[in-house]
Amino acid sequence: MDMNKKYTARTWPESPEKTTLEGKNKFLGFWLFLGGETVLFASLFATYLALKDKVPSNDHYLAADMFELPLVFIMTMLLLTSSLTSVYAMYHMKNHNYQKMQTWLLITVLLGLGFLCFEIYEFNHYVHEFHHTFTSSAFGSAFYTLVGFHGAHVVVGLGWFTLLLVRNAKRGLNLYNAPKFFVASLYWHFIDVVWVFIFTVVYLMGMVG
Amino acid sequence: MAHESTSANPKVNYEYRRRKARDEMRGQVTSFAMMIFMTFIAFIIVIADFDKFYAFPVLLVLAAAQVVLQLYYFMHMSHKGHGTAALFLYSGALIAFVTILTFLTIVWW
């Protein structure tokens, strides 16, 4: 099949992400990867839960002393909204409206970038205000590994979207790049899934007790 | 090629698909509103300072509900053809559950 064939909204297939064999394989392989990611994050969550508030002496700050609800709330809203904007992008992808898809993905990237800025501010704040660093305690190591790993996923997701947008800026939407955009948006949703557990288990439950 | 049109009349097919996509998008916006609502409830529970005996289960249920909406509506797992995807994800979730249970129970035995 010619992957670079030009399509219009009327000739565009119903599931462009799964029309080609390559698209089908990407789809399946990516869900296998997400299953693996689930296990990876579970091991980090388990480590965090076991080492939460385990500090060498009582002059170290604990979770409930440091976390602030407004910051976590803003970050949650940014990431949740960016998940919706990437849904909008995929809606336009299925309708073969390339320009609108690009616009919504750009908004997604900007929201993700906002999230990342808040996270950098947050880590910087903990290090300088509370001397809560990666090496200060077992709690610090577990916290930065878990939340930092999620932050690294956000960075990868942003880079992925940006590269796809730049590389395909002039190509237009076809069966070659539709699965690529689709899989990247699945990855972005998964990042939000992990964040739901982070804000619940680390921040909200951390502040309750 | 067979995949380009599933109806003898491409115009009907096109309009039907457009409408279906619009309906799905509406459902996704509703899921988003529900997720925002659940996030608010979760934060209010923490601000209201409930005892953790009551707060923890509610927070976890709210998180699980949000994740289900994200997976089934935003990630389209409610569409057909996601059987293998579900197998992969739930296998991962099973290992995840056992890992967390293990760490919570026997690390500080």
Chain B from 8 to 47: CB within 8 A of any A CB? 10-11, 14, 17-18, 21, 24-25, 28-29, 32, 35-36, 39, 42-43, 45-47
pLDDT higher than 80, residue A2: no
For residue range A44-88, what is the model confidence (pLDDT) as tens digits? 999 999 999 999 999 999 999 999 999 999 999 999 999 999 999
A184-202 pLDDT tens trace: 999 999 999 999 999 999 9
**What pLDDT does B22 receive?**
93
Please report the pLDDT score of residue A1 as a whole number. Answer: 63
Q: Has residue B2 got a pLDDT over 50?
A: no
Report the 3 state secondary structure along A55-75: CCCCCCCCHHHHCCHHHHHHH
Which of B39, B47, B103 is facing A50, going by the closest CB pair? B103
Q: Are residues B96 and B66 in the same domain?
A: no
Which residues numbered 83-102 in B keep a CB inside 8 Å of some CB on A?
A: 84-85, 88-89, 91-93, 95-97, 99-100, 102
Tally of domains in chain B: 2
**Amino acid letter, residue B58:** V
For residue A152, what pLDDT band results from cuts at 50, 70 and 90? very high
Cα(A87)–Cα(A83) distance, integer angstroms: 6
Rg of chain A, C-alpha, whole Å: 20
- Whether the CB-CB separation of A21 and B14 falls below 8 Å is answered with no
Q: What integer pLDDT is reported at residue A32 of this predicted model? A: 97
My answer on whether B84 and B101 are in the same domain is: yes
- Token pair listed for B68: 């289900």
Name the residue with tokens 């939460």.
A52
Cβ pair B24:A28 closer than 8 A = no
**Where is average pLDDT lowest: A28-37, A152-161, B16-25?**
B16-25
Q: What percent of chain A has pLDDT over 90?
A: 92
Q: Does B50 touch chain A (CB under 8 A)?
A: yes
* B68 and B84 co-located in one domain: no
Determine, for residues A83 and B97 on separate chains, whether the beta-carbon distance falls below 8 Å. no
Q: Are residues B55 and B26 in the same domain?
A: yes
Collect all residues with Cβ–Cβ distance below 8 Å to A100 and sequence separation of at least 6: A88, A89, A92
Distance (Å) from the C-alpha of residue B56 to the closest C-alpha of chain A?
A: 7
Q: Which residues of B touch A193 (CB under 8 A)?
A: 67, 70-71
Nearest chain B residue to A37 by CA distance is B92
Residue B9 pLDDT > 60: no
Residues 6+ positions from B70 with CB-CB distance below 8 Å: A83, A189, A192, A193, A196, B31, B35
Which residues of chain A are within 8 Å of residue B44 when distances are taken between CB atoms?
Answer: none
Residue B29 pLDDT > 50: yes
| Residue B3 DSSP code | G
Where is pLDDT greater, at B16 or A182? Answer: A182
* Sequence letter at residue B35: M
What confidence score (pLDDT) does residue A207 get? Answer: 92
Question: For the segment B56-91, what is each residue's pLDDT rounded down to a tens digit?
Answer: 999 999 999 999 999 999 999 999 899 999 999 999
pLDDT of residue B26: 95
> What is residue B10's predicted lDDT score, i.e. its pLDDT?
56
Residue of A nearest to B68 (CA): A193
- Which DSSP letter does residue B108 get? T
Give the amino acid at B61.
Answer: V
Buried b (16+ CB within 10 A) or exposed e, A72-85: bbebbbbbbbbbbb
| pLDDT in the model for residue A153 | 98
Tokens describing residue A85: 């904007």
Of the residues A81, A95, A193, A198, the best mutation for testing chain B's interface (the one with the most B CB atoms within 10 Å of its CB) is: A193
Q: Where in chain A are the domains?
A: 18-53+62-208
Q: Are residues B31 and B13 in the same domain?
A: yes
Indicate which of B66, B71, B97, B104 best probes the interface with A, i.e. most A CBs within 10 Å of its own CB. B66
Residue in the block written with tokens 């099973």: B94
> How would residue A27 be classed by pLDDT, with cut points 50, 70 and 90?
very high
> What domain range is B84 assigned to?
79-109
CATH number for the domain formed by residue range(s) A18-53+62-208? 1.20.120.80
Are B85 and B64 in the same domain? Answer: no
Q: Which of A10, A31, A45 lies nearest to residue B88, judging by beta carbons?
A: A31
- Residue written as token pair 């237009």: A172
Contact assignment for B91 to A200 by CB distance below 8 Å? no
